[in-house]
A and B are shown apart, each in its own frame.
Chain A
């Protein structure tokens, strides 16, 4: 299969579309009975790491399954390097999926599993399996049964099985699930390296910070629709423009409130007796976060709790859609 060569001058007018796409999603709708999982979604993915962000049930997994041909697209089309994955199985020679499920084939060691996938793809490099296993840091346990692996180790085994095929398009569904903090850092670096090599890496997550650390470009899905697309900054700015509510519990709410209302970043302050704290409305959450300790110190107030009331991704995504 041939993919378009990287074109640094390629310009996509719409941020939902990549300049040199290897994966094209055109007006795709997928439904399961009465439930609409994806609705007229159009976007594309090119070389580099693209993040697929959205709350649970947004349609990220369905989109990934549609891209890899695991589910049938009811309307619209998916093209990988110009080919339909449901009709042309040769597409799979250049594409790999790391599913979110914990399921791994029982009765196989990590090495046997990776070699099996390598055999299916006719990988002729002698060391390919070892390199793939080493790249996810599982070489010491490669002969242990994958059934006995932890969730994070299973996830890494599946990533190794995907990498052994040397895919141009790599689709990773919540790949950091179950990984410990050190492994997360390693995997994020690994995905960035893969993207830098010119591969199309699509990574889904519902954790904004994780996506920000690995993806140059983000597609945000909500309720099966495209909610936002573009660079991290554009997404973050879109989110920053929406008012946030922050709960601040302290030992001097009155003193603190008097000083906070003078800040530019504060749009309003109310006392919530139920939560026994101040609810601050702000359009500049980052500014507020910087100013709050300073104000607390100046008013000799001890901060007991600072918590964003609507900073869950679900609420941010809701705001984006609105």
Chain B
């Protein structure tokens, strides 16, 4: 064994991979072992089952799918699948003690946050989003495919950003993420419009409802933006959350896996 020497550093060079690309590739390779993929595909299978469930409702196909999508897909499947992704790309790594291989590098924290978010978002776009579109097809509501996929895409990438921020704030990412979804969004968000306006669950539902023809009136929620306005709202929420994650990442206190 011979130690690489300082003088060796002048030998043939090549252009290294851009850091952001390296982080995105690492996120796909390392943050999603087979068990994580299985945990992710389960809620996606759940989305397809909700598509089948729409046939059980004695309503027009579009209306039936709107009901199951609003309650089942955007209210349950999407947050759970996004939670698996968000925890994989940040919280699980911090808990395992492998995140500091990335953190202890001269890469600016915003690139780490952005790389993790893009990596996680791409995973969401190839799992949750097609599953949602397929659910609409299974439910015989082809006109809903586009709005449903757009709502799932915007909602899930917004969730991934939120769960990354939670991963930067606490080691108990999964517990706090579940608390965020079920206590803050579902419980408080159902009662308080102010919270619903910032919630990926409620806003992605509002995107879907705002973009389909003649949505069921009981699903239209007053006081929060819908359609494309909701897309803009969730983009702002995502951006602010990523900024929060970046600020927090600079001040992280990284302990080992055993601590």
Does A106 lie at the interface of the complex (its beta carbon under 8 Å from any beta carbon of B)?
A: yes
Q: Do residues B26 and A101 form an inter-chain contact, with CB atoms below 8 A? A: no
Interface contact A124-B6, CB-CB below 8 Å = no
Which residues of B lie under 8 Å from residue A164 when comparing CB positions? Answer: 4
The interface centre, meaning the residue of A103, A112, A118 with most chain B CB atoms within 10 A of its CB, is A103
With A70-B253, A119-B19, A121-B106: A99-B12 Cβ-Cβ less than 8 Å: no
Residues of A within 8 Å of B106, CB to CB, are: 89-93, 120-122
A107–B35 Cα gap in the complex (Å)? 11
The reply on A221 being an interface residue by CB < 8 A is no
Query: Are A125 and B100 also in contact (CB < 8 A) when A117-B105, A120-B105, A190-B3 are?
Result: no
Instruction: Type the 1/0 row for A185-204, where 1 means its CB is closer than 8 Å to any CB of B.
Output: 01101100110011100000
CB distance from B124 to the nearest CB of A (A): 19
CB-nearest residue of chain B relative to A123?
Answer: B16
How far apart sit A128 and B106, CA to CA, in the bound complex (Å)? 18
Is the beta-carbon distance between A124 and B13 smaller than 8 angstroms?
A: yes
- CB contacts (< 8 Å) of B93 on chain A: these are 105
Q: B102 at interface (Cβ–Cβ under 8 A)?
A: yes
Q: Which residues 111-169 of A sit at the B interface, judged by CB distance below 8 A?
A: 112-113, 116-128, 131-132, 134-137, 161, 163-164, 166
Flag whether B107 is at the interface (Cβ < 8 A).
yes
7 closest Cβ contacts across the A-B interface?
A119-B22, A120-B105, A193-B3, A103-B97, A93-B106, A105-B30, A124-B13
23 pairs, CB–CB < 8 Å, chain A vs chain B: A61-B256, A68-B104, A69-B104, A90-B106, A92-B105, A101-B258, A105-B26, A105-B30, A107-B30, A108-B29, A120-B19, A120-B23, A121-B106, A126-B12, A127-B11, A131-B4, A132-B4, A134-B1, A135-B1, A135-B2, A197-B5, A197-B6, A198-B6
Interface residues in chain B, defined as those with a beta carbon under 8 Å from any beta carbon in chain A: 1-6, 8-9, 11-17, 19, 22-23, 25-26, 29-30, 32-33, 93, 96-98, 100-109, 251, 253-258
